[in-house]
A and B are shown apart, each in its own frame.
Chain A
Amino acid sequence: MAKQNKAAETAVLGAEAHSLLVKRERRANNVWNKLRRNKTAMVGLVIVVFMIIMAVFAPIIATHDPNAIKPSETYLGFGENGHIFGTDEFGRDLFSRIVYGARVSLIAAIGGTIVGGIIGILLGLIAGYAGGIADAVVMRLMDGMLAFPFVLLAIILMTILGSGLQNVILAIGIGNVPTFARVVRGQVHIVKNEEYCNAGRVIGISNARMLFCHILPNTISPIIVYATLNVAGAIISEATLSFLGLGISQPTASWGNILRAGRDCLNTAPHIATVSGVFILVTVLGFNLFGDGVRDVLDPKMKR
């Protein structure tokens, strides 16, 4: 005991100095601090945060009522009559519509990812952990869904469900289930054979505890990475659906249906399609950059 006390007292190499070091290391390796050192991730994050702020504070940011029709001011160009991005075919303020559209597009994309994520994670966990018949049934079902092109699947779903934000979220979510389930199942297969899971079995912990206290927390990093990247895809999915006229219907603004409206007047007023297209592009880019950064931080093995 005397020796241990002595070791604790000594300043330079002792326990206290080591504790400080552990704290310092924790701080340096903290996810946020690591992310901050990653330049691409920060660029992505700035874009994402910018878009989210725009969506949240849409009523404050927007200069006009997005749905106010003014037949006298159709197809105005940039900056004309106080309309920053001009107006559309009904004379509605394009800037305000983009700002409000961010709300709808982001909610649809993030919501869809969450819905797909939750269902996919549960299915993946069950399939990966139980194995055998459950695994075979679930995964063949997922393979079947993957065999359908996403757009086709979504069109079928939207025709059955009808348009509207909730149904867009549901359609995107269901379309995302198979890939989520696959990612999770693969991870579960790796994690469930780790030594600490064996250790848990020897101790005699229950299956539910094993699944939710050990396996899920250890598969969560790749899931987060995948989800972040998936949001980018979901934004495009929403735009696709709305562009096809199956998603969010007029007059509610979404980036997809603004783009659709812009398509009809590409020659006369190209700015409508351009502006909405650029916003979709930048946001997708932002989520992708951010997702890559998150992957570098959470999943260093996958780097390069």
Chain B
Amino acid sequence: MPMSDKKVIMKVRNLTKEFKIRSKKLGEKPQILHALSDVSVDIYEGETLGIIGESGCGKSTFGKCLVQLHQATAGSVEYEGRQILGMKKDELKKIKRDIQMVFQDPFSSLDPRMTAGKLVEEPMVAHKIITDKKERSQRALELLKTVGLDVQHVHRYPHEFSGGQRQRINIARALALNPKLIVCDEPVSALDVSIQAQVLNLFNELQKEYNLTYVFISHDLSVIKHISDRIAIMYLGRIVELCDAESIYANPLHPYTKALLSAIPPESPFDKRERIVLSGEIPSPIGDQVGCPLAKRCGSCMERCKKEMPQLKDRGDGHQVACFLYE
């Protein structure tokens, strides 16, 4: 299906988030940490946009900016054609119902002093969706059942559940408001393989049932590839490549993507793949950047890379890449 036929649910333009770091010395100018620089992406209705990158690449910041947990420094986020950055509080509250989030750590993202039932009811209380108590707990139970939990779980506290079950509660909570878009911030990375598969299947089922749109953030490329329709690869606060899930494996373009792919552990003991080694470590996001962020580590770095910042450009088939090699 060509992309232009699909409805854009969220339009992100030049999103930038900077954190000020207080300097250690008195009277010194505060330094600026560029967590997210100039990120532009369209999110289509009903799709799963995967976001992958190493720790510190800004993928979590991106998710948090979308749900308004962080105030973006610059740029715009349009939801269904309406600008949501800088929106008034009560208007925003209505839109917040549509954009929910599932957090990474199932152990800390649930209030330890509330039972599963109460936790799922809470969003309904906050937005006054169902005011009748009985009806509300009925609905909470329904939601718990949709995510694969049962009546016996309603009165249990979070610490009495396993990691996978807690993540199910998190999902039920997000679903309680009938959202259209869910930002999933590493929802399966704290889970075991067999449980991870269950939760990934659950995400897929729910997407089909409720026509959900996901922004799925993870550091695990095989998980991202499995769940996503399109994948954005982030490096040091920027999207360096954006393409279909298929082409990331079949036809990776950016040198960083290639290196990332080659670093993934093999799928069998007989799979001996060649490693593309990136020398050194990720540079610090503090301070100003000149040139391509990968320049120092890249094997095919040119003179131009050290001076100019490559922009994310479409190669015609929806495959976008930010690298001078492809210009």
Contacts and interface: CB of A to CB of B under 8 A. Distances in A.
Interface of A: 15, 19, 22, 25-26, 194-196, 198-206, 209, 214, 217-218
Contact of A198 (B69, B100, B126, B150): B69
Contacts, number: 62
Contact of A205 (B108, B126, B150): B126
18 contacts: A15-B150, A19-B152, A22-B156, A25-B160, A26-B160, A195-B108, A195-B109, A196-B109, A199-B101, A202-B96, A203-B100, A203-B122, A203-B126, A203-B177, A205-B123, A205-B125, A205-B126, A209-B126
Given A15-B152, A206-B126, A201 B69 contact: yes
A195 B109 CA distance: 5
Interface of A is mostly: helix
Contacts of B125: 205, 209
Given A22-B156, A25-B160, A204-B126, A199 B109 contact: yes
A218 B97 contact: no
Given A15-B152, A22-B156, A203 B108 contact: no
A202 B93 CA distance: 10
A235 to B, nearest CB: 31
Contacts of A199: 101, 103, 109-110, 170, 173
B69 A202 contact: yes
Interface of B is mostly: loop
Contacts of A19: 152
B67 interface: yes
Residue in B68, B112, B113, B170 with the greatest tally of chain A CB atoms within 10 Å: B113
B297 to A, nearest CB: 32
Interface in B110-155: 110-113, 122-123, 125-127, 150, 152
Nearest to A21: B160
A66 B104 CA distance: 65
Nearest to A216: B113
Contacts of B103: 195, 198-199
Q: Which 5 A-B pairs have the closest CB atoms?
A: A205-B126, A195-B108, A195-B109, A204-B96, A196-B111
A217 B69 contact: no
A196 B122 CA distance: 12
